[in-house]
Amino acid sequence: MAELLRDTRVEINLDRIAYNMTQLGSLCGSKVALMPVIKANGYGHGAVNIAPTLLENGAVYLAVATLTEALELKKANSDWPIFIMGHTPDRLLHHVVEKEITQTVFSLRQAQILSDLASALGRKAKVHIKVDTGFHRLGKTPSHEYADEICEINSLPGIEIEGIFSHLALAGEAEDEEQFRSFMGFVSELEARGCSFRYRHLADSIACVDYPDYRLDMIRPGAIIYGMVGYSKGDLQVKQAISFKTAISQLHRLSPGEGVSYDYLWKAQRDSIVATLPFGYADGYPRNMRDKGYVIINGIKAPLIGVICMDQCIADVTDVPDVCEGMEAVIYGDGSDGSMTIAEAAQLAGTNKNDIISRITARPPRVYIK
């Protein structure tokens, strides 16, 4: 294993990612293709390093948001099947064709560019059509004009329409149902006009568990692959794969009245021992965790005190038995040791779980355990 150049590191349990994939596979059955979403560096887990585990455990495609993410994966292994869910500007579409990446498309103009580029190489560019069923983010609203456009795309010599998809706003059961109906109605219209789609897909992590009918031919699970539970109606056992750890860099003994960190926003009320920890908001730890965050040191909850700095923060370790410099501190864990789970971090920081994990920056090294 490569030398670990920092005490602050992100540990990824690949067995848990495999477990989550297997669980999802048995829930959805063999007719539903799995396209795990590994945008944002695999939600902080390291896209290139988790890709083999996903492909070995049933992934048909790996989905990313951007061309840069797709190219990073193709550079690691040009055989990996990659799907870009986002928009790629016209001037960059040649990369998609050259690297045989499957692209989301919602205009004849882009399809034509792809078709020309692919034809010149004697290939067909694979695309999935994006339909806007209400989210108003990407894709066009179902209409006869859009159907005409899709039929034209379908007739381009250098294009293979492999799929069609939409995305739910998850605004409520009635709204979700309306989006689903709109999508299915449009797909039927297109099929009646001679289009065919190998993969019709709509469901993200929450929808694929809560709405079995919406799984269709393929699902796009992100959060759930990493063990983040967001569904409310269905049931699926998954395990958090990520943990975040560091070690104490220095201890200080403070007398009552002495402060710590910028602005002395925390002051000792008693004779205290405080520990400097070498992680901060530039590692992706939420700065607003001040007065809320804690780490687990030697089995004890040590609250973070004072302002969280860019590279360091300070914990009150007065009550930690045998505390010493170099002792491990668990920033995020699976909770079994009392550590803060990603779910709890999200709640304390006033955001969602995907934000907490995807914001962990590239600075802390990733360590993969099996």
Residues with a catalytic annotation lie at: 39, 262
What span, in angstroms and rounded, lies between the C-alpha atoms of 12 and 322?
28
Q: Which stretch binds ligand PLP (CB under 6 A): 88-96, 214-222, 264-272, 299-307?
A: 214-222
Q: In terms of Cα–Cα distance, which of 289, 285, 299 is closest to 336?
A: 299
Each residue 263-302 as x (binds ligand PLP by CB under 6 A) or -, in order, gives: ----------------------------------------
Nearest distance, CB of residue 330 and ligand PLP, angstroms: 24
Q: Which residues pair with 275 in a beta bridge?
A: 251, 315
What span, in angstroms and rounded, lies between the C-alpha atoms of 89 and 177?
32
Selected from 205, 240, 243, 312, the binder of ligand PLP by CB under 6 A is: 205
What span, in angstroms and rounded, lies between the C-alpha atoms of 257 and 264?
10
Residue with the CB atom nearest ligand PLP in the bound state: 222
Selected from 162, 204, 210, 283, the binder of ligand PLP by CB under 6 A is: 204
Q: How far is CA 279 from the centre of its chain?
A: 22
The footprint of ligand PLP on residues 154-173 (CB under 6 A) is 167
Please provide the distance, in angstroms rounded to a whole number, between the alpha carbons at the two ends of the chain. Answer: 13
46 binds ligand PLP (CB under 6 A): no
Residue with Cβ nearer ligand PLP (186 or 279)? 186
What span, in angstroms and rounded, lies between the C-alpha atoms of 125 and 317?
58
The footprint of ligand PLP on residues 78-117 (CB under 6 A) is 85
Strands 199-203 and 218-219: parallel
Q: Which stretch binds ligand PLP (CB under 6 A): 90-98, 216-224, 254-262, 289-297?
A: 216-224
- Report which residue type is found at 334: D
221 binds ligand PLP (CB under 6 A): yes
Question: Which single residue is written with the structure tokens 């687990």?
Answer: 296
What span, in angstroms and rounded, lies between the C-alpha atoms of 233 and 24?
15
Residue with Cβ nearer ligand PLP (39 or 245)? 39
Question: Which residues of this protein are in contact with ligand PLP, per CB under 6 A?
Answer: 37, 39, 85, 167, 204-205, 220-223, 354
